[in-house]
Structures are given as structure tokens and as C-alpha cells.
Chains A and B, each alone.
Chain A
Amino acid sequence: MAARPSPVKKAQRTLTWFVVIVLGLLAILGGGVLWGGASFVPKLALDLEGGTQIILAPQLESGQTVSQEQLDQSVAIIRQRVDATGVAEAEIATSGQNVVVSLPGVPDEATMERLEASAKLEFRPVLTWDAASSTPAPSPSATPAPNEGDESAEAEELTEGDEPAEAEQPEQTAEPSTPPTPTDASDYAWITEELFDEFTNFTCDSVDEATLSVAPSDKPLITCDDTLTIKYLLGPVDKNEASGALLTGEHITDATADLVMSSTGVSTGRWGVTITFDEAGTQLFTEVSRRLFAFPTNDPRNQFAVVLDGKVITAPTMNALIPDGKPQITGNFTQETAKVLADQLKFGALPIGFTVLTQDTISATLGTSQLESGLLAGAIGLVLVVVYSLFQYRTLGLVTVASLTMAAVITYLLISILSWREGYRLSLAGVAGLIVAIGITADSFIVYFERIRDELRDGRGLESAVEAGWKRALRTIFASDTVNFLAAAILFILAVGNVQGFALTLGLTTLVDLLVVTMFTHPLLQLLAKTRFFGDGHRLSGLDPKALGAVYRGRAQFREPVAVGATKRAKSSKEAARRQTIAERKAAEADSRGERKDG
């Protein structure tokens, strides 16, 4: 025993390291505050700060799966879209298959609309349209006129010259006697008798958004515009037979709201939206414009519909042949409506459709009151734990208090650092995890103290009781903390949202618990055991051997090895060794080597 460093030296060294670790964490955070934009206060999640959380779920056609790549792309697009609304500090993340959008404060309607329009954007030629009249009109002024506002758009590229493509016979009856194979997306042959019946009986209140946004792109589509006043019968999405490319939002590289120039290059003071297609899109759109431009302007088939999430957001007429992939949509736009449409076109180009799963708004007042209550509950809980510890363990309880304080400081620093580096936000569930951790952390000290008391009861002196008790306690603490950490880790990996925040604080505090009990509580007790107050077992120290009954009986009574004969001992150790852990074996060796004499 003399060969090993004395417990006091070891304790001092360990405590020094502990202080270094705490100061190191403090320095990291302090440096972050000074130079890295960190804050000494951890960032709060929505439920504490107030704000809105929107969870979007991908809408998939049956059998379709969503890849991580597609999700990442969607997150990027949604992020762009949110940023475009000027909302600061929005957070967009994936959670399983879902996309979670967190916005501070309460988003205005425009922001919500843009988010909810997290959609699949397609271009479909219009076959025919009609007023959505079958419902009793809510207001008699509702006119069936489609050519209002955004609807009356004209394409402005004036590069006429090519011969119109072969003119088709518009079949106004829309009921071909024999169903011929449609030759292109604008072909009336798409309209079967059945489909036309469906269209006639279609009302805009029966619009089922969920099915619309997953409508197959190679079939005609019956839908309404986004104000539900006009119903459309649309052809399938144009497709390049050779490459398989579809005329969808993916091919839009840009869409901007800008002032319309007249042919002489002078601003007309009117707003329009210019779309820029990529190469494949340009090719497709050129064909479409050629085909649609060939129809007379009063033919619905002259219009092409921009379909967002299955709903028509605009259906301008084709006023020119547009071969350069840069159509401009004009009409009665204001700067704002033009910008909304441009954003819809640009950011509506998601690879998959999304639907709002939940939208949860928490006002800043409610958030603050939840945080305050949480902190209050934590404070009360902590005070109760301190009082109980002092009651049960007298002065030793102060060690519990000091250790809990250390654990709290380290946890606070770690959470602040996580919040700075990883963008972690403390949620109410996280706070609950911290409060629950008070009990589990304090339990480590209780287990340790009880082991020391057990050793005292066996008649050991305090210093040796601390060492022996520690060896046994550490094993128990390590085993039980492992189970707890396992639970936290599994929850963190597998669970979603709130559960994760909770699991993170629980796992974190388990690790902090191990750190504090090994590097702070134990060395502190080693040092305290040297003091007269504890070493002599003062009545108030909580480690009074008399109060613990050590005097009333000899230690041999329960610690049998001394009393048991050598042969019997060898026999019993066989079974014992079979069940021993490595740590225990080492402990047993140490026991027989040195500490026996302490007894």
C-alpha cells in the first residue's frame, strides 16, 4: 500500500483535473461568446420561447418511398422559401420522414401559405374549364369569369414566325364516339365519356387535396383553381418521350417578379413573372407553346395551367411561341402578387409533395410562463432534495449539495456549448429531463454513502471505508448508469421531436453524473476523511460509527472470510470467482494485498 500514491495525493490530483475540465468548458464557451457568436444562455426551443412549429409529411403515391437525398433537397427548398419571406432564425430539419419547420413568433398568413404550398409543381395544358357552379353560390356576385386577375395572363415573348403546328379539330362535344389514342397532351381524345361526366358533376368543395397532389402525371386531371371558383379539366403533364423528362417545377431554374417591358424596352409599370427553364424544360416548353399557340385564343386549349399541389395557381393563355424557355406571365399583378407567384414557381419545385401534419403555435407569454414554472419546479425540487440529504446524511449532505451544484454547472455549460455548436435548443421536455436527472444524479451519492456506511458498520476506519465503499459503489453506479444511458441513447436515436430533446438531457446528465462522482465527490470524500470532524466520526458528520452500530458488534459477524477456515474459504471462492467481474477480481486482489490490515 505504501508503494501506491497516497489517497490524498491522488485525490488532490483528480480534483485538480476536475477543476481544469470545468475551467476548460468555461473557456470554450467564453471564447465562443467573445469570438464565435455564442451566448452564455442556451437557446430555447419553441415551447419555451414562443413560436410556431410546423411538421410537414411527404405525400407519396402508393409504393413510393422517399430517399434521404430527396428529403435534403426538400429541406433546402423549404429553407429558401422561408428565408424569402424574411423570417429570421427559422429552423428546418428532418425528423424521420418528416420535415420540421420552426419559426419564431406567429407567422403571418403569407408565410403560412408559402410553407403549406410545399408542393409539386406541374405544367398541364388546359382541355376545358367551367365555373365551379354546382354549389349554391355563397355570394351571388361570384362570377364564372375566369379571366380575372392572375388568370388573364398573356405570354409576352414576341418571337412569332414559325408556322403553327397542325391545327386540331376542336371537338366541342368533347365526346368522341370511339376512344382514339390521344396524340398529345392537348388532345380531346383524353376526354372519355366517363371523364366528362365526372367533370360535369365535379364541385370544388369535393376537392380532396390529399389525392390531388399525388395525382398521376400521365393521366388527365380534374381540379379547381386555388380560390375554388373555377374547375378545370387538364391534360397530362407534357413528357419528352425520348428522355422521359416531365414539364414540372424541377425544370424551373428561376422565377422572378419584374416590371413588364414593352416591345420598345420601356417599362409599362405593370408587374409580371418571368420563368427561366433549364435545357430540358426549354425543349419541352417550346413544343408546348408551339402546340398551344396554334389554338385560337377563345379555345380553352390555348391556356396552360400551372398546377401546384394539384391546384391550378394560374392558367395563362399562350400569346406567342416561346422557344427560349423564358416565358413571362403578365396580367393584373401587383408587385406583391407577382412575387408570391414567382416564389411559388421557384420554390414550389419540390421533388415530392408535402402535407401539413401538425401546426403548433405557442405564444411567447405561454412559453415564458412554462419556462418559469419549469425553473420554479426545478428549484423547489432541488431545495427538497437538499433538505432531505441534510436530514439523512447531516454534514455529508453538504457533499451531495456541492456535487449536485457541480453537476448543474457542468450540465449548464455543456448545454450552452451544444446550443452554440450544434444548434441545440432546450425544450420543456429537455427541462423535464434535467429535473428528473436531479434524482438519478443524487442517487449515485446515496449509493456511495450507503456503501461507506456499510463498510463502517463492518468495523473499518473511515479512510479505508471510503476506499472500500468506493470500489463497490463505483461498480454499482457504473452498471446502473450504463442502463440509464442505454435507454437515453436508444430514445435519442429512434425517437422523434420532443422525445429526443428529453433523451439528450437525460443521457448528458448521466455522463455528467459519472464525471462528477468519480472526479469530484470521491476525491472530496477522500480529503474529508482526513479531517478530524469526519475522521473521528463527529455526531453531525453523518458517518458516526457509533450511530451506525459499528461498536455494538464485531466485524467478523458478517464479513466471514476472517472467521472461516482456509479450506472452506478456497471452496467458497471457487463459486465466487465464477461470478466475479474483472473489476471485482482486481478489488479482491487489492483487498487481500493491502487493506486487510485496516480492518
Chain B
Amino acid sequence: MRSFAQFGNDLYTGKLSFNFVGRRVLWYSIAIALIIVAVVGTIGRGGFAFGIEFTGGSQFTVSDVAEQDQSIAQNAVATVVPGAVTRIAVIGGDTLRIQTDQLTNRESDDVRDALAQAYNVNSSDVDASFVGATWGQDITSSAIRALIIFLVLAGVVMAIYFRTWKMSLAAMIALLHDLAITAGAYGVFGFEVTPAAMIGFLTILGYSLYDTVVVFDKIRENTSEDGGGLTRTFAESVNLAVNQTLVRSINTSVVAILPVGSILFIGSVLLGAGTLRDIALALFIGMLVGTYSTIFIAAPVYAHLRQNEPELKKQEARIVASRKASATN
């Protein structure tokens, strides 16, 4: 603990400083490499694994099963619909979820009975659901619309608040980076994309910008304080702000990740596939990437965007000159 407080102090004074802004080429390269991996990996796996809500189909859940042998379900479905493609998952400790292609009502009833018989449960313990393929598309199209409108509005709000569109742009670049990498994680690892995952995905929008705003606010404070000052160049001020808020960033991301992590853990262990796990997974990845990108992408990009402004160049030249002078003295 003592050492963590010391860590915070040193970061604040500048005694300890990570060069986040200066080594931007390295961070950019990592980001580009990750995005390439995300794109290539997703394509290599044949695109995203969309859930039943996007592809359409029938879904059965069998509660309170004594045996979790999945081949029983496979056979039960095959007796009704020979050659049907089934996907079976265990939810919770004793519930099976069986997904098939879209069945007719009659087939669906028959499969339900067959499953009840095969697992020796009441047919009331077997739930049958039906998902039309357009359902997922409805959600997706409304999500994409929300995404675009949010980006535009948030960009304007931030530009007004920070008095510079370059902060908005830097924050947006970091946000797109987060979305690309989170989506890439789904594509590369083949996690199923469900509406719940989409919810998590959309929340990352808010969270990623939220995190960036907190750090940018400190940057704004530091850079406005020494607008014409002589001690630090603009890039150094930005870097100091990132370092000064590093403890906050670590604490916040730990505090935000802990509940999400516990959902993810509980969701996967106790419930298996389902809404909770899907939301938590997207959030877990997104929050980690969101915190990372604020520090390693948003701040360096912002400094990068402003480095060629004549005023800031003049300031930098002055500082370099005065440092040289004091060195020779």
C-alpha cells in the first residue's frame, strides 16, 4: 500500500514518468497490428459466429436434467427431424439448451416431446422458443443507427466542452480502436454474437468515451495552466496529465472491471451461455481496451494532432532553447 501511494506521488510530481506520448509510434504500431490481427483473424474464421437471434431457428431448453449427455438430445432431435443441425449447450448446472434450424410448429412440438421423453422429464420442463431471422437484424440496424448518432452528438458535446475539435477526434479514434478490437476478439476467438453481446458492445461506447473524458479533462487543465509557460512542452504537459491520472485510471478500471468480472465468472460457471455472460464478456474486453486506449491512443493522438500548431511549435522552441541555455550555464 505504501508503495502504491508512493507510486501515485511520484507519478504526480513527475519523478516517475512513463513516456506515453513520446513513444507513440510504438503504440500506433501495436494498435495497427492488433486491428490487422482482428480483421484477418475474423475473416480467417469465416466471419462472426452469429447467435440464433441473427440466423433464426428454434431453441429448446430442458430444465432439471439428471444426465447431461448431449448425444441424447442429438438423437432425440434426429428422430423427429433427421439430419437436423443441432447446437447444444449446458446452461446453469442442470439445464440444456438445444438450438436447431427453424422447425415447423408440429416438428417443434414433436421435438419437445422427444426431448422430454429422452431426458425423462415432464414436457412442461421443456421450453420451446422460436426466433425469426429478422429479429437480430432489427436489433443490429437500430444499434448501428444509435452508434452513428451517438458518435456525432458525443463528438459535438466534447468539442464544445473542451473548446477544441481535436480532442473529439482523438477520443473518437480511440473509441473506434476499442470497438474494432472488441469486435475482433469476438471474431478471432469465435465467441457467439448475441443481442446481449450487442448491448455490451454499445455500452463500451459510453464507457470508452467516459474514461477518455476524465483523462482529457486533466490534460485540458494542465495545458491551459502553462499555455505560455516555459517548463514543459505541450507534449510533455499531455504526458504529465496522463501520468497524473494513471492512478485514477488503474483504480477506476479495477473498480469497474471487478463487478463485470464477477458477472462473467458467475455467468459462465453457474449459468453457462446466456444474457449475463454475453453482456459481461463484451464489457470485460471493452473496458480493458477502453482504459488502455485512453492512455496509449487517445492522449498520444491528441498531442500528435496539435504538434504542428505554430503557437505550440514556438513554445516548444522556446523551451528547448531555455533548456539548452540552462544546460550550458
Where the two chains meet, the residues of A that have a C-beta atom closer than 8 Å to any C-beta of B are 47, 55, 57, 96, 98, 106, 355-363, 365-366, 369-370, 373-374, 376-378, 380-382, 384-385, 388-389, 391-392, 428-429, 431-433, 435-436, 438-440, 442-443, 446-447, 450, 453-454, 457, 472, 475-476, 479-484, 486-488, 490-491, 494-499, 502, 506, 547-549, 553, 557-558, 560, 564, 568, 571-576, 578-581
Contact = CB atoms under 8 A, between A and B. Distances in A.
Majority SS of interface residues in chain B?
Answer: helix
B254 to A, nearest CB: 6
13 contacts: A365-B64, A373-B276, A377-B265, A381-B259, A391-B1, A392-B251, A432-B263, A439-B259, A440-B256, A487-B202, A495-B139, A549-B12, A571-B228
B19 interface: no
Contacts of B13: 457, 549, 553, 557-558
A220 B290 CA distance: 61
A482 B227 contact: no
4 nearest A-B residue pairs (beta carbon)? A575-B227, A381-B259, A439-B256, A487-B206
Contact of A496 (B142, B226, B258, B260): B142
A429 B196 contact: yes
Given A373-B271, A446-B251, A106 B127 contact: yes
A403 to B, nearest CB: 13
B92 A366 contact: yes
Nearest to A427: B275
Interface stretch (B81-89, B185-193, B242-250, B319-327): B242-250
Contact of B259 (A384, A454, A481, A483): A384
A388 B91 contact: no
A484 B276 CA distance: 21
Contact of A475 (B217, B271, B275): B217
B117 interface: no
A433 B280 CA distance: 10
B127 to A, nearest CB: 4
Contacts, number: 290
Q: Identify the interface centre among B143, B162, B263, B280: most chain A CB within 10 Å of its CB.
A: B263
A106 B64 contact: no
Nearest to B258: A384
A575 B228 contact: yes
Nearest to B287: A439
Interface of B: 1-2, 4-6, 8-10, 12-14, 53, 59, 61, 63-64, 91-92, 95, 124-125, 127-132, 134-135, 138-139, 142-143, 145-146, 149-150, 153-154, 157-158, 161-164, 195-196, 198-199, 202-203, 205-207, 209-211, 213-214, 217-218, 220-221, 223-231, 244-245, 247-248, 251-252, 254-263, 265-267, 270-271, 274-276, 279-280, 283, 287, 311
Nearest to B143: A495
A480 B210 contact: yes
Given A450-B248, A487-B154, A494-B142, 6 more contacts: A373-B92, A380-B262, A381-B263, A481-B210, A557-B13, A579-B164
Contacts of A483: 154, 157-158, 206, 209-210, 213
A560 B231 contact: yes
